[in-house]
Structures are given as C-alpha cells and as structure tokens.
Amino acid sequence: MPVKVARKGRLTMILGPMFAGKSTELIRRGLAAREMGEEILVLKPEIDDRYHRERVVSHSGEWLPAIPVSIWPEIPKEISNVLLDEVQFFDKPWFRSNLSAMVTGLLNDGVHVTTSGLHADWRGKQFPVVRTLRTLANEIVFLTARCSLCAKPAHHTAKLGGTLEQVQIGGADLYEPRCAEHWHVSDISTATMNKHPERDSPVYVP
C-alpha cells in the first residue's frame, strides 16, 4: 500500500472575473514574500503578452518579473514560493504539462504556490485546470470587480466583441465585469459580438 506523503507547502488560489485585481493581489503577495527574504519565482503563460512578455503586470501598472512558459520548467532548489498568473491558461493547448501534478510535487517538497486567474470564462463555464486545482487548494480568495453598468459587485465577465471562441486575449476593449443582473449569456450571439445593446446604457463612473 503506497505511503501518503504529508504536504508541506500551501496552495492559495486568487480567483474572480476580469478587472477584480487578481494580478494585483498576486503581485502584492509576491512582493511581501520577497521582502521577508524568501526566494520567489513567477510564471506566466506564454500566450499572454498583453502588457509585457516577461512581466506580470496589473491593470494599475504594478509588476513583477516573470518567465513566460508553455511547458513546466525546472524549479531551482532555493525557490520557496512559486506564483502563477492567469492560471486558466496553464492547460492544453497553451500549456503542455500536467499542472496539477507539477503543483502537487511542489507542495510535497514544501514549496508554497499562489495562483491567480479567472474562475470562469465569459460564458460562465469553469476552466478545467481551475476546477482541478481547487480540489488541492488550502485557501481560495475570491475577488469581485465593480459592474460596468451599475457599480454593484461583479462576479462575471462579459464579452463585448471579437469572436465567439472561449478564449480570446484582450482587455477592456473586449471584456467588462458584470453583476448577475447585467450579465446574460443568452445575449451572446454573432449579432451582439458586433454591438452589445447594453453599451448604450449609462455607465457609472466612480
């Protein structure tokens, strides 16, 4: 009978819709660990090059140096904290390793892992890799944004243009945070990809 290995590391997941401050929180935690003298390593999916290829950058402009990857790299022995941004993309076809197995190995070795990413796509469907990692998590931090139409807490991401594919890299040009009242999957169609009817509604400006 195999011996069960006691995990020494902790997995923290930072989840939420777009514009909820997920990367900002990841950066904050990474900087805090570094200030305490811990060795950190930040990984990001190679597909995400919106702001900078070798940095994790928040929408507010804060950043940490990061390594873009499409396959799991060798983790140096001195690293005690691994941080993963946009974790929903650490899966096929953008990522060719088994993230769950890699994270489990780190936790068993005493390495702390922190991830940030979307809890669901613009259709409300959870990403498989996120669903799997949630079963390993010691802590899940769920952040909300402000609905772009009414400023109430937003748990969803609405897509305003582009294609009907599950994944299309973009920012405020393609996506907005929405509350449950203003997020309607039934509104998503080829017609609404060109013009979303709610874009003519008054937008709350804080």
Residues 6+ apart with CB under 8 A from 129: 87, 88, 90, 91, 99, 100
Q: Which is the catalytic residue, given 86, 139, 176, 198?
A: 86
Beta bridge pairs of residue 15: 117, 142
What does DSSP assign to residue 26? Answer: H
CA–CA dist 77, 32 (Å, integer): 20
CA–CA dist 42, 54 (Å, integer): 10
Is 35 designated active site? no
CA–CA dist 172, 161 (Å, integer): 10
Active site residues: 86
